[in-house]
Amino acid sequence: MEYQILDTTTVVAYVLNNAETASHFRDPLSVKAREIGDGNLNLVFILQSETFPQEALIVKQAVPYLRVVGESWPLSRERMRFEAQALMLYEQLAPGLAPKVFAYEEAMSIVVMEYLIEHQVMRQPLVARQKFPLFAEHLSTFLANVLFKTSDLYLTGLAKKDLQSRFINPHLCKIQEDFVFSNPYMESPENKHNPLITDEVSAVRQNVELKLAIANLKEKFMTQGQALIHSDLHTGSIMVNPADTRIIDPEFSFFGPMGYDIGAVMSNLMMNYMSHFAHTADAEQREAHQGYLLDTMRSLWNLFAFKFDALWVRANTGELVPELYWQFEGGEQAFARYRERYIRQILRDTFGLGACESLRRMMGLVTVWDVGSIENAEARASVERRIIRVSTRWILEHESFMSVEDALRIVTEEV
């Protein structure tokens, strides 16, 4: 089908004309579509049967521009191919942790997927102090499996490069390169910040050691094709309920450093932690929620590291360090040391790269709702200053971290 932008009428015809997607509905005439507005980049429709409301699908379509800005900002529709490929690969590598894909059409830049009817985007409930006790367990399984099984630790060099060649995603990488790693820390017309933190923002932009470290982190992001990363894994890309966790919206995915994904989650949990100094006046309630967030960050890292290592021991089949390489007196211990060193570097990358995500949210193009929704400018500034302090220290100190406790201690020191 030739590309055309769908609306709430044509999207229904599109889905019912395809036998595979039409088969989701027992009463096709009762299917109605509505567009859900919070998509920044794309059109997202919910198609739902009025007769059988449990029968529903999501249709996501890329438009040839950045939706939040408009047609003046062209953006390749190819992003929907990366999203479809990534979602389908997630289902193979970490089953049940992303929405199922029912159809994908490249010419139309459309993905038809499972409607997560019982889930919420994680960001809002975290502001409302809801807890998701299985989240760290689920997300660590997702991250360990997807990152390990798309890396040189598991795949042969040929298989990995073949997969990587299908994820060369220059246009969406450019968005992160600009808006996470450069523009927020220099004069740039789209930057915004709370006028009350102008001093802190200028201090960041003039901090020599910080700028050197951010440049190194940007180079890592741009050049280390370590594994297939989601590359936009903030708490708005995770849908949850107390029993289940799903990763959505992998249109930015490409082969980059593993720590960027784990770090995006860590820094978004840290921003949520700090936002409660404004959202939650009652100290007891606030401390309980902040304690839950620290426990979640700790478990996420520790479970990830444990699962990643276990996968590696079980299947060291990749190009990087073959079994035979360790076949010598002391080789087993050497392999254990190598794994420990490798995983420690992921930890350091997690907090270095993750801190760029939280720092940019304080002074770049887009904030996060956790902080942006604090109406009182003074209260918001005091949250933003804390986030700037933690992010700055994570960036300056991450290369010396030995365990997740080193990162968490900084959070509790900068309250």
Q: Which is nearer to ligand ADP, 38 or 187 (CB)?
A: 38
The only residue of 90, 115, 260, 301 in contact with ligand ADP, by rule CB under 6 A:
115
In whole angstroms, the minimum distance from the beta carbon of 383 to ligand ADP comes to 23
The only residue of 249, 261, 349, 414 in contact with Mg ion, by rule CB under 5 A:
249
Q: Within 10 A of 166 (CB to CB), how many other CB atoms are there?
A: 14
The only residue of 41, 63, 214, 363 in contact with Mg ion, by rule CB under 5 A:
41
Alpha carbons 184 and 288: distance in angstroms, whole number: 33
Number of residues that bind ligand ADP (CB under 6 A): 19
Which stretch, 13-21, 111-119, 183-191, 362-370, contacts ligand ADP (CB under 6 A)? 111-119
276 binds, among ligand ADP, Mg ion, none (CB under 5 to 8 A by kind): none
Asked if 38 is part of the footprint of ligand ADP (rule: CB under 6 A), the reply reads: yes
Q: What is the footprint of ligand ADP within residues 250-279 (CB under 6 A)?
A: 251
Asked if 99 is part of the footprint of ligand ADP (rule: CB under 6 A), the reply reads: yes
The only residue of 55, 200, 249, 261 in contact with ligand ADP, by rule CB under 6 A:
249
DSSP string spanning 193-257? Answer: --GGGHHHHHHHHH-HHHHHHHHHHHHHHHH---EEE-S--SGGGEEEETTEEEE---TT-EEE-
357 binds, among Mg ion, ligand ADP, none (CB under 5 to 8 A by kind): none
Asked if 172 is part of the footprint of ligand ADP (rule: CB under 6 A), the reply reads: no
Which residue is listed with tokens 């699962």? 307
DSSP string spanning 305-343? Answer: HHHHHHHHHH---SSSS-GGGG-STTHHHHHHHHHHHHH
| Percentages (nearest 5) of helix, strand, coil residues in the chain | 55, 15, 30
Which residue is listed with tokens 């059109």? 43
* CA 381 to chain CA mean position, Å: 25
Render the burial of 9-41: b for 16+ CB within 10 Å, e for the rest.
eebbebbbebeebeebbeeeeebebeeeeebeb
Q: Which is nearer to ligand ADP, 39 or 125 (CB)?
A: 39
Class of residue 130 by CB neighbours under 10 A (exposed 0-12, middle 13-18, buried 19+): middle
In whole angstroms, the minimum distance from the beta carbon of 245 to ligand ADP comes to 13
In whole angstroms, the minimum distance from the beta carbon of 271 to Mg ion comes to 19
In whole angstroms, the minimum distance from the beta carbon of 144 to ligand ADP comes to 23
Which stretch, 110-118, 267-275, 325-333, 341-349, contacts ligand ADP (CB under 6 A)? 110-118
In whole angstroms, the minimum distance from the beta carbon of 99 to ligand ADP comes to 4
The two three-digit tokens of residue 79, written as one number: 């992003």
Give the number of C-alpha atoms closer than 13 A to the C-alpha of residue 347, restricted to the C-beta side: 28
36 binds, among ligand ADP, Mg ion, none (CB under 5 to 8 A by kind): ligand ADP
Residues that bind ligand ADP (CB under 6 A): 36, 38-42, 44, 58, 60, 99, 113-116, 121, 236, 248-249, 251
